[in-house]
Amino acid sequence: MKPPLALLFALALALAGCRPPADQVRMAPGAAFRLCPPEQGPRLQVTQEVTFRLPDGRREVALAVVENGDRGLSLVASTPLGQTLYVVRMRGSQVAVDARMALPAGLDPRLFAALVQFCLWPEAAVRAGLGPGMRLVQAGPVRTLLRDDAVLWRVTRDGDAPPFRTLELESPSLGVSVQVRTLEQP
């Protein structure tokens, strides 16, 4: 089974360029987000099925286990058969990555932590991390990240907050969409 390398490669190409300061993540070209401390987010432990739709129309599926609590934020991504692809851990403002497979050059793995925070963290915490020219619009279950009125990322959340039953995440500028479906939680 082929891991979702195409998504990683597409994101790497779209976000390639100068790396922002250590406490910031590029959400899209020219748009940096300051990671929120894990303790500002919800306590959770959840397994999710993640389906990526790539600009070329291909579909890739992965599983993710997301935990946030006393030990910080942890994201473990694996193939549907259980092969670990990578682990991202965040304690305070420090992010560590254990890539079991080579990640494409230029891909900042902190992007995954930033997207989890964009989707699940409280509105005030996300707003505090916005870079220059960026703004967050919250309208019911839809949260939109804009830069100069252009949509960078949009998430539609369904179900009890967080982790929500489903998340529909899209980046029109990157041509990527992601559907996240919660499989289980303790």
DSSP string, 98-117: EESSPPPTT--THHHHHHHH
Contacts of 82 (CB under 8 A, 6+ apart): 63
Segment 134-155 mean pLDDT = 95
* Domain residue ranges in the chain: 5-173
> Given a cut of 80, is residue 19 above it in pLDDT?
no
Tens of pLDDT, residues 156-174: 999 988 889 999 999 998 8
Could you tell me where the DSSP H helices lie in 37-182? 110-120, 123-128
Tens of pLDDT, residues 71-126: 999 999 998 998 998 899 999 878 888 888 776 666 677 788 899 999 999 999 99
Name the token pair of 137. 């619009």
